[in-house]
Chains A and B, each alone.
Chain A
Amino acid sequence: AAGVIQSPRHLIKEKRETATLKCYPIPRHDTVYWYQQGPGQDPQFLISFYEKMQSDKGSIPDRFSAQQFSDYHSELNMSSLELGDSALYFCASSPTDGGTYEQYFGPGTRLTVT
């Protein structure tokens, strides 16, 4: 079965640089979520999109922005990177026509800021 695809899997950036993370949801899933998991921490919700519109926003810094495109893939753009942005970034997708709406997570992008 198709899963959520994230690219790149690993990314190393320097402080003050920018990064773009990409997410391709499971086919026919129209909702995408982004989560950030710091070292030894639980995942924290950043932002979500439903049918290409932002549906919810969490503790996402103003330096970050995201969007969902017409083909439902999503991109998380991160600017002026800080050391504290080093984390595992997950994208998850879910369908809206199911009763459980379980979120299926991608493998994550491990971002290291040096």
Chain B
Amino acid sequence: AQKITQTQPGMFVQEKEAVTLDCTYDTSDPSYGLFWYKQPSSGEMIFLIYQGSYDQQNATEGRYSLNFQKARKSANLVISASQLGDSAMYFCAMREGGRSFQKLVFGTGTRLLVSP
């Protein structure tokens, strides 16, 4: 069963606008972590933001915020004030379990294109 689902293969947004990238997950483990990574065309994977299953508040990191809805098992990434440099592939990933050395399972990604 797919553990991480990203239903938007591609998204377009105009510069300075906000955009939401969807991510739903499936797990029966009460302890898990959710991550978003950005992968530009150059290939590197850049960590953006993290949300723990027990975190009471939604995570925020600069222009990035995570809309965590635990009951709906969704962890959408919101990018405010989009910039041209935000054009990239975005991956949602999950770590199950509370141990430190748990692998990440990734979604299929969403390609974001920011236009001037």
Chain A residues within CB distance 8 Å of chain B: 31, 33, 35, 41-45, 48, 50, 55-56, 58, 88, 90, 92, 94-96, 98-108, 110
- Main SS at interface, chain B: strand
Whole-angstrom distance between the Cβ of B14 and the nearest chain A Cβ: 26
Given contacts A42-B91, A105-B45, A107-B43, contact A94 B100 (CB under 8 A): yes
Q: Would you call B106 and A42 a contact (CB within 8 A)? A: yes
Residues in B lying within 8 Å of A, measured CB to CB: 33, 35, 37, 43-47, 50, 52, 91, 95, 100-109
A108–B108 alpha-carbon span in the complex (Å): 18
Are A103's CB and B47's CB within 8 A?
yes
CB atoms of A102 and B50 under 8 A apart: yes
Task: Specify which of A44, A56, A90 is in contact with B45 (CB 8 Å cutoff).
Answer: A90
Partner of B103, one of A48, A100, A105: A48
Q: Could you jot down 22 A-B contacts, CB within 8 Å?
A: A31-B100, A35-B104, A42-B108, A43-B91, A45-B103, A45-B104, A48-B103, A56-B101, A56-B102, A56-B103, A92-B104, A94-B101, A98-B100, A100-B50, A101-B95, A101-B102, A102-B50, A103-B47, A104-B47, A106-B44, A107-B44, A110-B43
Question: Could you list 12 further interchain pairs (A-B, Cβ under 8 angstroms) beyond the known A45-B104, A92-B104, A107-B44?
Answer: A45-B103, A48-B101, A55-B101, A94-B101, A96-B100, A101-B101, A102-B33, A102-B35, A102-B47, A102-B50, A104-B47, A105-B45
